[in-house]
């Protein structure tokens, strides 16, 4: 187990390092090769030599690229200083960069936005996992029944609709036409748990509709395959109760597949649900990244990209560990 973890952690660090090099190169090296000066992106409307020079000094853009990358990586291990003469700014550890535009460390901005993305990543997966697996399981147990056909039809429709469409339609009717819910304004869980849930209900449903449909179809397909396996027939022949056959023997291999998907999806979601956050105006990590792209705020883009990669890598490790729990044939070695 420990060997497995160490090996996976080394792999994870390697992947993250590669991601950081690629993103750094993409956002700092490519513009430089194209003759663009990143300082102009932060100078605002008036670009003058003094302003550009001040920005270069403060952000370290006057150093060679390798040094800039080295300083950036250094921020993962210690705090960094962004100084321009008497104007001094400390970026506390872990420093993922400094947003000149906002005069804030990227870590602070991410920490501020993370609860919103986390809130999305808690409620929506619970919804889509429970609904998707339940519907898929029910359909698989009654193939070609009315319930099976209708639920698969709905699933097909839901999976075909992009989340921004589902979200916009839900909002149009629930908020603006029927006035069942007020428009979305994020309220922290610790501040008011009821309002927190109320405000996130529509984003959860929008996200879950898309994913639940996929999960239902995956669950149904996998279960149908498993139910035809010899060991299921053997279990039934031995006189086991149908519930035991399904829950203990049929669902287990299906669970492996679902957990793989679930882990990856949640990992991806933790990096920011860009469309959902944008449509509902939720200032989470995805929205932070999109806004940063629009504003050419390179340090934020870098920070959010690396964090998103981190969550996916971490989710992979967790999924691998869960394999061993679900499937005894898998050993973490």
Partner 1 sequence: MSNRRSRAAFAATSVVLTIAVAACSSSNSKPSASTPTSGSTPSAVGSTTANGGTSDVKAEFNAATKGVVNASTKTGGSLNYVATDDFDSLDPARTYYAYSIDFQRYFSRTLMAYDAKPGIAGAKAVPDLATSAGVVSNGGKTITYTLKDGIKFQDGSPITSKDIKYGIERDFAQDVVPGGPTYNKDMLDQGQNYPGPYKDTDPNHLGLKSVLTPDDKTIVFNLATPYSDWDYVMTMPTAAPVEAKVDLDPAKGGAKYQNNVQSSGPYMIQSYEPKKSLVLVKNPAWDQSTDTIRHQLVDKVTVTMGLDSDDMDKRVISGQADIEIESTGLQAAQQTEVMRDPAKKANADSPLTGFTRGFALDPAVPELANVDCRRAIEYAANKVDLQTARGGATGGGDIATTMAPPTLPGYQSFNLYPSGPDNTGDLAKAKDELAKCGKPGGFHTNIATTNKGKGPKVATALQAALQRVGITTDIQQFDSSGYYSTTIGTPSNVHSKDLGIMVMGWGADFPTGYGFFSAIADSRKILQAGGNSNWAEVKEPTIDAALDDMTQTTDADQKAKDVQTIDHKLMEQAYYLPFTYDKALTYRNPRLTNVYVTNAAGMYDFVSIGTSDGK
Q: Which is nearer to partner 1, 112 or 327 (CB)?
A: 112
Q: Which is nearer to partner 1, 44 or 92 (CB)?
A: 44
Q: Which is nearer to partner 1, 202 or 223 (CB)?
A: 202
Give the integer Cα–Cα distance in Å for 18 and 127.
34
Q: Which residue has the tokens 């901005």?
A: 109
Q: Which is nearer to partner 1, 195 or 224 (CB)?
A: 195
The least CB distance from residue 203 to partner 1, in Å, is: 12
Give the integer Cα–Cα distance in Å for 135 and 211.
12
| Residue 332 DSSP SS3 | coil
Q: Which is nearer to partner 1, 103 or 229 (CB)?
A: 103
Report residue 252: phi and psi, to 5°: -60, -55
Q: Which is nearer to partner 1, 151 or 305 (CB)?
A: 305
Give the integer Cα–Cα distance in Å for 231 and 189.
46
* 163, 124 contact by CB (below 8 A): no
Scanning 142-192, the segments in alpha helix (DSSP H) are: 146-160, 163-170
Q: Which is nearer to partner 1, 148 or 277 (CB)?
A: 277
Indicate left, alpha or beta for 265 from its phi (over 0: left) and psi (-120 to 50: alpha): alpha
Q: Which is nearer to partner 1, 232 or 290 (CB)?
A: 290
The least CB distance from residue 56 to partner 1, in Å, is: 9
Strand partners, 91: 80
Give the integer Cα–Cα distance in Å for 91 and 203.
33
- The residue count of the chain comes to 333
The least CB distance from residue 15 to partner 1, in Å, is: 29
Closest CA to 207 of 262, 167, 264: 167
The least CB distance from residue 113 to partner 1, in Å, is: 8
Give the integer Cα–Cα distance in Å for 268 and 116.
15
The token duo for 139 is 């359909």
The token duo for 176 is 């603006």
Give the integer Cα–Cα distance in Å for 6 and 195.
42
* 161, 207 contact by CB (below 8 A): no
Q: Where on the chain is the footprint of partner 1 (CB under 8 A)?
A: 36, 40-41, 43-51, 53-55, 57-58, 84-89, 100, 102-104, 109, 112, 168, 171-172, 175-176, 182-183, 185, 278-281, 283, 287-288, 291, 294-296
């Amino acid at each position: 187990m420990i060997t497995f973890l160490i090996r996976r952690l080394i792999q994870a660090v390697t992947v993250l390092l590669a991601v950081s090099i690629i993103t750094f190169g993409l956002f700092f090296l490519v513009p430089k090769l194209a003759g663009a000066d990143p300082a102009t992106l932060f100078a605002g409307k008036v670009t003058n030599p003094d302003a550009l020079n001040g920005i270069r000094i403060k952000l370290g853009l006057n150093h060679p690229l390798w040094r800039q990358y080295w300083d950036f990586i250094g921020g993962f291990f210690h705090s960094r200083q962004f100084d321009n003469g008497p104007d001094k700014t400390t970026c506390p550890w872990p420093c993922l960069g400094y947003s000149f535009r906002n005069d804030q460390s990227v870590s602070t901005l991410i920490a501020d936005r993370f609860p919103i993305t986390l809130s999305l990543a808690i409620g929506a997966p619970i919804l889509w996992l429970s609904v998707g697996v339940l519907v898929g399981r029910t359909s698989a147990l009654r193939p070609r029944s009315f319930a099976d056909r209708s639920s698969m039809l709905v699933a097909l429709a839901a999976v075909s609709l992009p989340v921004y469409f589902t979200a916009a339609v839900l909002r149009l009717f629930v908020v603006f036409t029927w006035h069942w819910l007020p428009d979305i304004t994020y309220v922290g869980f610790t501040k008011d748990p009821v309002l927190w849930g109320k405000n996130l209900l529509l984003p959860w449903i929008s996200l879950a509709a898309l994913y639940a449909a996929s999960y239902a179809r995956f669950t149904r397909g996998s279960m149908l395959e498993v139910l035809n396996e010899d060991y299921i027939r053997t279990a039934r022949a031995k006189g086991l109760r149908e519930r035991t056959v399904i829950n203990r023997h049929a669902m287990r291999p299906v669970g492996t597949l679902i957990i793989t998907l679930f882990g990856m999806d949640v990992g991806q979601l933790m990096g920011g649900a860009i469309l959902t956050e944008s449509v509902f105006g939720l200032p989470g990590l995805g929205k932070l990244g999109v806004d940063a792209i629009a504003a050419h705020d390179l340090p934020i883009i870098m920070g959010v990209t690396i964090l998103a990669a981190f969550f996916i890598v971490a989710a992979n490790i967790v999924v691998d560990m869960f394999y061993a729990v679900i499937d005894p044939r898998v050993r973490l070695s």
